[in-house]
Amino acid sequence: MLNDLLTVLPLTIVALLGCFVLLLDVLSGQTDRRYLGRITAAGFALALGSVYLLWGKTSLQLESPIFGGIMVLGRFELLACAVLLLIGLFVTLMSIDWAPEQGVSIGELYALVCFAVLGMMLLVTATHMISLFLGLEVMSVAIYVLAAFKRNSPYAAEAGMKYFVLGAFGTGLLLYGMAYAYGATGKLAFADVAQALAGKEPTGYVKLAVLMLVAAFGFKLALVPFHMWTPDVYEGAPAPVTALMAAGVKTAAVIAAGRVFVTALPPSALGSLEPTVFKILGVLAVITMTAGNLMALPQRNLKRMLAYSAVAHAGYLLIGLMAAHHVAGQPQVGDVMGALLVYLFVYALANLAAFAVVSLLGGQSQEDVSLDHLSGLSGRHPLGAAVLALAMLSLAGVPPTAGFFGKLTLFKEALRADEGKFPWLVVLAVLNSVVSVFYYLRVLVHTYFRDALRPVLLVRGTALTLALGLLAFLTLQVGLFPSRWFEATAQAARPATTQVSTSAAP
């Protein structure tokens, strides 16, 4: 019990931080809320420190299931939590100077960011349907509120409503799918579900459960038939919140989906259903990346463009998920999950950087950032322009940025998983990446080679500058010295994905 409580220290810190900030805001009654942001940022840094501490602790039984098998916090999960905490830290830093400029000086902003990150951390550590559902809801509810956070803006309310309706639809599907998985097996812990299904012919219940779970994760990951909410929500929601959605929600949802399809529904559990599932996922991946890239091409609004780019990246990530699913149960799955985590990390860095620049352009309640607004940015704010350039190159996957190595490893692992099935998917993904270079580079052209038409007001502040600088540093660091990061994640992922049998879970 004590071991369990110690192991979840990062989650506890974030939960307490959220409650503390929430109460501090109502009790102190100060109108300038910037200090709350600084406290939150310090709290996230503290939680990151606790992750570092746990990483080195060999006395704790890190890889074993905790709290009766509802969650596990091994090295892989610690790394994933570190990525999420870093996302929380950057979102907080972005908001500190941005919020007063936008007239939303509301203390709950920081508390909600904490709760959203807490939900994401629950999601990546979950090994049981109940903890998965709990994490998903904690994350989603906080982000519904955050999306509609800017109360004076009709866009924000609309974005919140759209995100809420489709998110709740996804939740309903997920729960219904879980109910049928429970009906088929009588179990809710992932490992037990896989064990109960192994070697049996899939019944109607299993088919229904798999279908519902794929659709539910489709909504959360913004795969193409389920992506309708993405552009509107990305455009309408405040920039730091969109950063949290693009970086955090995607990371948490991909890892949770990976866990479900690796430990609860591996190929051995699906039996004769496996080829159909593979076909469905493959078709989803192809239409997701193709449609995402094609729809991103004509966009002139930076946030909308990034939304479609998020859809396209969900397609690439789905290939990685399919590879992880395909090799489930073999030691190789650690490498694939590690590659996924690295990809998510570099993708999160690039998105955070891009949305930090969007926040930078959000002076005096400015919201809509079209490409024309970017013109002449290189002269007015060289650091912002450089960070945006790095982010775009990283998203496009141009060497030597981090994005290139993320894509390279992911596709390499996908090819290694099964040489017979994956080449055509990877070829399509690479072709798509080439198409995507066009719209990412257009942003660069506007930033560096066009004169300012309508200069927008910039948000000035030390926290935002700090965030921009750190993001630029990290993107370059991962891009120039990638091998250290990849080795660490692959090593961390190896033990996590070997099966742990859970027994005491309800």
Partner 1 sequence: MTPYLLLAAALFCVGVYGLLTQRHGIGILVSIELMVNAANINLVTFAHFRGGTAGPALALFALALTVAEVAVGLAILLLLYRQKGDVQVDDAKELRQ
Partner 2 sequence: MATASLAAIVFVLISAVVASSLVVAAKLLRVRAKVDSPLKRRTYECGEEPLGPTWIQFHPRYYVVALVFVIFDLEAAFLLPWSLIVRELGMAGVIEVAVFALILMLGWAYAVKKDALKWQ
Positions that interact with partner 2 (CB under 8 A): 1, 19, 22-23, 26-27
Three-class SS state of 88: helix
Provide the minimum distance between the beta carbon of 127 and partner 1 in the complex, in angstroms, as a whole number.
Answer: 13
Q: Which is nearer to partner 1, 149 or 347 (CB)?
A: 149
Choices 2-10, 54-62, 169-177, 396-404 (CB under 8 A): range interacting with partner 1: 169-177
Q: Does 103 bind partner 1 (CB under 8 A)?
A: no
Three-class SS state of 62: coil
Q: Which is nearer to partner 1, 42 or 504 (CB)?
A: 504
Instruction: Provide the 10 A C-beta neighbour count for residue 125.
Output: 28
* Residue 200 per-residue DSSP state: S
Q: Distance (Å, rounded) from C-alpha 490 to C-alpha 336?
A: 8
* Residue 248 per-residue DSSP state: I
Three-class SS state of 42: helix
Q: Does 505 bind partner 1 (CB under 8 A)?
A: yes
Q: Which is nearer to partner 2, 28 or 498 (CB)?
A: 28
Given partner 2, partner 1, none, residue 287, with its beta carbon under 5 to 8 Å by kind, binds: none
Given partner 2, partner 1, none, residue 26, with its beta carbon under 5 to 8 Å by kind, binds: partner 2
Residue 238 CA to its chain's centroid (Å): 17
Encode 216-234: b = buried (16+ Cβ within 10 Å), e = exposed: bbbbbbbbbebbebbbbbb
Tokens found for residue 437: 């270079």
Q: Which is nearer to partner 2, 22 or 358 (CB)?
A: 22
* Residue 458 per-residue DSSP state: P
Q: Does 178 bind partner 1 (CB under 8 A)?
A: yes
Nearest Cα to Cα of residue 72 among 94, 54, 93, 47: 54
Provide the minimum distance between the beta carbon of 26 and partner 2 in the complex, in angstroms, as a whole number.
Answer: 4
Given partner 1, partner 2, none, residue 19, with its beta carbon under 5 to 8 Å by kind, binds: partner 2
Q: Which is nearer to partner 2, 23 or 280 (CB)?
A: 23
Q: Which is nearer to partner 2, 1 or 56 (CB)?
A: 1
Provide the minimum distance between the beta carbon of 66 and partner 1 in the complex, in angstroms, as a whole number.
Answer: 18
Q: Does 169 bind partner 1 (CB under 8 A)?
A: yes
Q: Does 157 bind partner 1 (CB under 8 A)?
A: yes
Q: Distance (Å, rounded) from C-alpha 212 to C-alpha 483?
A: 38
Q: Which is nearer to partner 2, 27 or 32 (CB)?
A: 27
Which listed residue (145, 408, 415, 488) binds partner 1 by CB under 8 A? 145
Q: Distance (Å, rounded) from C-alpha 91 to C-alpha 349?
A: 11
Provide the minimum distance between the beta carbon of 23 and partner 2 in the complex, in angstroms, as a whole number.
Answer: 6
- Residue 487, C-beta contacts closer than 8 angstroms, at least 6 positions apart: none
- Interaction residues for partner 1, span 232-271 (CB under 8 A): 232, 235-236
Provide the minimum distance between the beta carbon of 184 and partner 1 in the complex, in angstroms, as a whole number.
Answer: 9
Q: Does 219 bind partner 1 (CB under 8 A)?
A: no
Three-class SS state of 344: helix
- Interaction residues for partner 1, span 36-55 (CB under 8 A): none
Given partner 2, partner 1, none, residue 23, with its beta carbon under 5 to 8 Å by kind, binds: partner 2
Q: Which is nearer to partner 2, 138 or 500 (CB)?
A: 138
Provide the minimum distance between the beta carbon of 39 and partner 2 in the complex, in angstroms, as a whole number.
Answer: 17
- Residue 167, C-beta contacts closer than 8 angstroms, at least 6 positions apart: 140, 143, 144, 219, 220, 229
* Residue 201 per-residue DSSP state: -
Given partner 1, partner 2, none, residue 63, with its beta carbon under 5 to 8 Å by kind, binds: none
User: How many chain residues interact with partner 1 (CB under 8 A)?
Assistant: 44
Helix axes 462-480, 482-496, angle to 10 degrees: 80
Q: Which is nearer to partner 2, 1 or 199 (CB)?
A: 1
Provide the minimum distance between the beta carbon of 19 and partner 2 in the complex, in angstroms, as a whole number.
Answer: 5
- Residue 279, C-beta contacts closer than 8 angstroms, at least 6 positions apart: none
Identify residue 364 by its one-letter amino acid code: Q
Q: Distance (Å, rounded) from C-alpha 307 to C-alpha 92?
A: 21
Task: Please identify which residue in the block is written with the tokens 């929500």.
Answer: 233
Provide the minimum distance between the beta carbon of 110 and partner 2 in the complex, in angstroms, as a whole number.
Answer: 14
Identify residue 109 by its one-letter amino acid code: L
- Interaction residues for partner 1, span 112-131 (CB under 8 A): 129-130
In the chain the first and final C-alpha atoms are separated, in Å, by 17
Task: Please identify which residue in the block is written with the tokens 């399919």.
Answer: 322
| Strand ranges in 324-383 using DSSP code E only, listed in sequence order | none
Provide the minimum distance between the beta carbon of 277 and partner 1 in the complex, in angstroms, as a whole number.
Answer: 21
- Interaction residues for partner 1, span 273-332 (CB under 8 A): 304
Choices 25-33, 38-46, 175-183, 338-346 (CB under 8 A): range interacting with partner 1: 175-183
- Long-range CB pairs of 134-138 (<8 Å, 24+ gap) are 135/252, 135/256, 136/171, 136/174, 136/220, 136/256, 137/171
Q: Does 56 bind partner 1 (CB under 8 A)?
A: no
CA distances from 232 to 66, 161, 317, 381 (A): 39, 10, 22, 28
Q: Which is nearer to partner 1, 304 or 407 (CB)?
A: 304
Q: Does 351 bind partner 1 (CB under 8 A)?
A: no
Q: Which residues contact partner 1 by CB under 8 A?
A: 129-130, 133-134, 137-138, 140-141, 144-145, 148, 151, 154-155, 157-162, 164-165, 168-169, 171-173, 175-176, 178-180, 182-183, 186-188, 231-232, 235-236, 304, 505-506
